[in-house]
Amino acid sequence: MSRRVNISDVAKEAGVSTATISYVLNHKATESISAETEERVYAAIKKLDYVPNLSARSLVSKRSNMIGVVIPQTEPGKEFMFSNPYYGEFLSNVEYTARKNGYHVLISGTEANQSYINVAKNRGLDGIVIVGMYPDEFYMELKQSQVPIVMVDSYCNEHYFHNIGINDRNGGYLATQHLINNGHHKIAFVSGKIREEGVNYKRFLGYQDAMKEAGLEINPSSIYTGNVSHEYGIEAAKLMIENGQNETAAFVTADIMAVGLIKGLKQQGQRIPEDVSVVGFDDVYLANISDPSLTTIRQNIAEKGNLAAEVIIEAATNKNMTKRDIILPIEVVERQSVRKL
Amino acid sequence: MSRRVNISDVAKEAGVSTATISYVLNHKATESISAETEERVYAAIKKLDYVPNLSARSLVSKRSNMIGVVIPQTEPGKEFMFSNPYYGEFLSNVEYTARKNGYHVLISGTEANQSYINVAKNRGLDGIVIVGMYPDEFYMELKQSQVPIVMVDSYCNEHYFHNIGINDRNGGYLATQHLINNGHHKIAFVSGKIREEGVNYKRFLGYQDAMKEAGLEINPSSIYTGNVSHEYGIEAAKLMIENGQNETAAFVTADIMAVGLIKGLKQQGQRIPEDVSVVGFDDVYLANISDPSLTTIRQNIAEKGNLAAEVIIEAATNKNMTKRDIILPIEVVERQSVRKL
DNA sequence: TTGAAAGCGCTAACAG
DNA sequence: CTGTTAGCGCTTTCAA
């Protein structure tokens, strides 16, 4: 196994110094290299099939050209980050934009015992994209670090981080209002765990806003919370029927749950939307696959991913960039799961 | 911004040499460190909040503790790797197992112009997990490299790589046979592009096997191929009806397409399974979500991901490990999308 | 316009 | 049982 070719092999081949190689590789504007030398260098690189060692580069330049993406485990203690397609779509777009800009993406689930900030330091990550909510300690640690951070879908109060998200409260409002406008009064709220500073809480506030505005009463028994999963959607359907609250509609804060709810409701002999109307949230492709297709709150997940990558890369490049707070637009997408009463 | 603490800071603090720090950090069995020294070192590490610089470590040890995962872009030219939940589930399990073993995961879509092998060299990846099929040049390049590689879901002929997969031909056979056993004779085959050495080709062979065995004729007009996507499933449904071949059943080589097919068929006024029976492949959670729920060929995707990580890590650790060829079991999962004629 | 040389933080002989 | 030290491959100041 022949030794890997390094910069001085190239230097020798091109008849220049290693510094020169480095200059042409990094397009140093400060150093001017004659076109002829540059050509020789490129020729040598090609001839020897030279590929720079990024570890060495990171070591001296303190830049890794890697960004980290932290995705929540939807079910605590489980290894699956991706039961919700939302994350897959988000991640693939982060990766795409990062790659286009010469960055690689290191993914990680969250580990209770090992702090992520260590990973960041270990690897010299240039920035971190964090999706969702985490325990407070997590944010405390993060604040200590010098690493640029973009929070996505979090209302964590720290004004320290860049933020990308949507107006979740408004989303909850729009969804509920849509149901109310269609004549529904008894509206269930189905959601993942409601945590302060989490998106579900905001969406819940929006739900309340709409209900109050319409002079409707919120029935505590019509609030169902559990895991953000298809399974819990089915479970919630069961609970709805057992509860006997006779809701005619449900606002579900994630499409994956909404689809589960629909499935569960059907299993309970309900027809959608004839007996129960359902509005989801996210507009992942599941909303289209569902039968009936799901009326939902659309947010542009791909755009969220692209922006997250752009912002973190800019933050990595420009240390004193002003704090970003990006709110992406949302809208109601009407499909077949809501009936006018 | 204070300088990052490094190994010699720790050494000073603990009153030992940097070598000693390195020894205790790496649990070098060859070097025996007194318990007392070890304690002092750990104390110093804690006190200074020292985190090793992995770039430096990689530089000298030639090991990065990173593995790369290459996921295909389901639609060529598009940024989405994850329209198929199969990949999300796979990836999350690779990441989980890698993390448990002290490895990080670098993800990447495939880039026509930049060879992935450069990424591997650049970053000093310890191994690569490659999912799906790629152009031949890709494999050629890969063979050149010294990096251990695990191919997943590929029948690329190179005996050079480790392999993890299922018996796709048998899967195609089982699916088709199931339909035949239920009295179907006119069975459509719906699939992603059929490429030699790809899983779809093998599944197609299995389809042929079953048809031949039953003395049934394969109607070339009943073969539908396109993108592995929900959309193409819908499209295929349209084609099926327009074709007027009156198939009473379809074997679809991916659940995501199968669910699309069902949706499309319904849009065309067909009832499932009364008018058309459908069998999918993979058993992703969509199969359950679908209405009617989908009879499909189950493969253990999570296990595939875990194994891929284990094999690649073992290969990274033990350079002359014998070649692995792992075939995971599959089975028919009966749900509601098949009717007995 | 280019080169020499000093590190970046760490590991691993080799010495003691 | 522990320390000294020579690099790993690269960037970057400083000098020429």
Q: Could you read off the pLDDT tens digit of each residue along chain A, which spans 341 residues?
A: 456 899 999 998 889 889 898 988 887 656 677 888 888 899 999 999 999 999 999 999 999 999 999 988 755 555 555 668 888 889 989 999 999 899 999 998 876 556 788 888 889 999 999 998 888 888 888 888 889 999 999 988 667 899 999 999 999 999 999 999 999 999 999 999 998 889 999 999 999 999 999 999 999 999 999 989 889 999 999 999 999 999 999 999 999 999 999 999 999 999 999 999 999 999 998 898 888 999 999 999 999 999 999 999 999 998 889 999 999 999 999 999 999 98
Q: Taking CA atoms, what residue in A is nearest to B78?
A: A96
Residue A196: Cβ within 10 Å count: 10
Tell if B33 CB is < 7 Å from nucleic strand D.
yes
Tell if B53 CB is < 7 Å from nucleic strand C.
yes
Closest partner CB to A64 (pick from B55, B89, B91): B55
User: Are A286 and B289 a contacting pair at CB < 8 A?
Assistant: yes
Name the one residue in this structure whose structure tokens are 């200059």: A23
- Which nucleotides on chain D have any atom < 7 A from a protein Cβ? 1-5, 7-13
pLDDT cut 90: percent of chain B above it = 64
For B287-309, the pLDDT digits (tens) are 988 889 999 999 999 999 999 99
The residue ranking higher by pLDDT, B320 or A93, is A93
Half-sphere exposure of A216 toward its Cβ, with a 13 Å CA cutoff?
22
pTM of the model: 0.91
Closest partner CB to A80 (pick from B89, B107, B124): B89
For residues A24 and A42, the answer to whether their CB atoms sit within 8 Å is yes
Strands B330-333 and A104-108: unpaired
- DSSP letter, residue A81: S
Closest of A279, A296, A286 to residue A331, by C-alpha: A296
- DSSP letter, residue A269: T
Mean pLDDT of B170-199: 96
According to the model, what pLDDT value does residue B339 have?
97
Mean pLDDT of B242-266: 95
Q: In the beta sheet, which residues pair with residue A299?
A: A330
Element (H, E) at B47: helix B35-48
Query: How far, in whole angstroms, is CA B34 from its chain's centroid?
Result: 45
Angle between helices B7-14 and B35-48 (to 10 degrees): 120
Closest partner CB to B121 (pick from A51, A118, A302): A51
According to the model, what pLDDT value does residue B81 have?
58
Q: Whole-angstrom Cα distance, residue B315 to residue A258?
A: 43
Tokens (6 digits) for A38: 């540059």
Q: Whole-angstrom Cα distance, residue A268 to residue A289?
A: 21
Nucleotide nearest to B20 (CA to C1'): D2
Which CATH code of 3.30.450.20, 3.50.50.60, 3.90.79.10, 3.40.50.2300 fits the domain covering A168-299?
3.40.50.2300
If you measure CA to C1', which residue is closest to nucleotide C3?
A17
Give A318: exposed, middle or buried? Use CB within 10 Å, 0-12, 13-18, 19+: exposed
The DSSP-derived string for A170-222 is HHHHHHHHHHHHTT--SEEEEEE---TTSHHHHHHHHHHHHHHHTTPPP-GGG
Give A1: exposed, middle or buried? Use CB within 10 Å, 0-12, 13-18, 19+: exposed
Strands A277-282 and A249-252: parallel
Tell if B12 CB is < 7 Å from nucleic strand C.
no
Best B131, B289, B310, B337 member to test A by mutation, with max A CBs in 10 Å, is B289
What type of residue sits at position B27? H
For residues B125 and B147, the answer to whether their CB atoms sit within 8 Å is yes
Q: Whole-angstrom Cα distance, residue B202 to residue B195?
A: 9
- DSSP letter, residue A319: T
Best B79, B104, B288 member to test A by mutation, with max A CBs in 10 Å, is B79
User: Are A95 and B107 a contacting pair at CB < 8 A?
Assistant: yes
Q: Whole-angstrom Cα distance, residue B83 to residue B90?
A: 13
Tell if A23 CB is < 7 Å from nucleic strand C.
yes
Closest of B52, B48, B61 to residue B14, by C-alpha: B48
Residues 6+ apart with CB under 8 A from A145: A117, A120, A121
Q: In the beta sheet, which residues pair with residue A187?
A: A249
User: Are A108 and B105 a contacting pair at CB < 8 A?
Assistant: yes
Closest partner CB to A92 (pick from B81, B105, B288): B81
Q: Whole-angstrom Cα distance, residue A150 to residue A310?
A: 10
Residues 6+ apart with CB under 8 A from A15: A40
According to the model, what pLDDT value does residue A241 have?
96
According to the model, what pLDDT value does residue A330 have?
98
According to the model, what pLDDT value does residue B190 have?
98
For residues B309 and B323, the answer to whether their CB atoms sit within 8 Å is no
In the three-class reduction of DSSP (H, G, I as helix; E, B as strand; rest coil), residue B127 is classed as strand
In the three-class reduction of DSSP (H, G, I as helix; E, B as strand; rest coil), residue A70 is classed as strand
- Taking only residues 176 to 195 of chain A, the set having a beta carbon closer than 8 angstroms to any beta carbon of chain B reads none
What CATH number should be reported for the domain whose range is B66-166+301-328?
A: 3.40.50.2300
Strands A104-108 and A66-70: parallel
Element (H, E) at B316: helix B301-317
> Does residue A259 belong to the interface with chain B, where contact is any CB pair within 8 Å?
yes
- DSSP letter, residue B222: G
Q: Whole-angstrom Cα distance, residue A11 to residue A20?
A: 8
> Any idea which of A85-94, B114-123, B325-334 has the lowest mean pLDDT?
B114-123
Cβ contacts from A onto B, under 8 A? 151
Give how far Cα A277 sits from Cα of A287, B64, B305, Å: 14, 53, 38
According to the model, what pLDDT value does residue A38 have?
87
In the three-class reduction of DSSP (H, G, I as helix; E, B as strand; rest coil), residue B258 is classed as helix
Q: In the beta sheet, which residues pair with residue B332?
A: B297
Q: Whole-angstrom Cα distance, residue B65 to residue A190?
A: 42
The residue ranking higher by pLDDT, A229 or B258, is B258
Q: Which residue pairs from B265-271 have beta carbons closer than 8 angstroms and sit at least 24 positions apart in sequence?
A: B265/B237, B265/B240, B265/B241, B266/A291, B267/B234, B267/B237, B268/B237, B268/B238, B268/B241, B270/B237, B270/B241
What CATH number should be reported for the domain whose range is B7-52?
A: 1.10.260
Tokens (6 digits) for A316: 């990595």
According to the model, what pLDDT value does residue A1 have?
41
User: Are B106 and A51 a contacting pair at CB < 8 A?
Assistant: no
Output b/e per residue, B198-214; b: 16+ Cβ within 10 A.
bbbbbbbbbbbbbbeeb
Residues of chain A with CATH 3.40.50.2300: 66-166+301-328, 168-299
The residue ranking higher by pLDDT, B319 or A87, is A87
User: Are B99 and A109 a contacting pair at CB < 8 A?
Assistant: yes
The residue ranking higher by pLDDT, B56 or A138, is B56
Mean pLDDT of B233-241: 96
Query: How far, in whole angstroms, is CA B46 from its chain's centroid?
Result: 39
User: Are B290 and A289 a contacting pair at CB < 8 A?
Assistant: yes
> Does residue A160 belong to the interface with chain B, where contact is any CB pair within 8 Å?
no
Integer-rounded Cα radius of gyration of chain B = 25
Closest of B198, B256, B200 to residue B224, by C-alpha: B200
Q: Phi and psi for B328 in degrees, rounded to 5?
A: -85, 150
Element (H, E) at B57: helix B54-61
> Any idea which of A102-111, A253-262, B21-30, B90-99 has the lowest mean pLDDT?
B21-30
- Measured between beta carbons, the chain B residues lying within 8 angstroms of A64 are 55
According to the model, what pLDDT value does residue A332 have?
98
According to the model, what pLDDT value does residue A289 have?
86
User: Are B54 and A123 a contacting pair at CB < 8 A?
Assistant: yes
- Would you say residue B79 has pLDDT above 60? no
pLDDT cut 70: percent of chain B above it = 93
Tokens (6 digits) for A51: 């590929």
Q: Taking CA atoms, what residue in B is nearest to A85?
A: B85
- Would you say residue B1 has pLDDT above 50? no
- Which nucleotides on chain C have any atom < 7 A from a protein Cβ? 1-5, 7-14
In the three-class reduction of DSSP (H, G, I as helix; E, B as strand; rest coil), residue A258 is classed as helix
Q: Distance, in angstroms, between A54 CA and closest chain B CA? A: 5
Q: Taking CA atoms, what residue in B is nearest to A114?
A: B99
According to the model, what pLDDT value does residue B308 have?
97
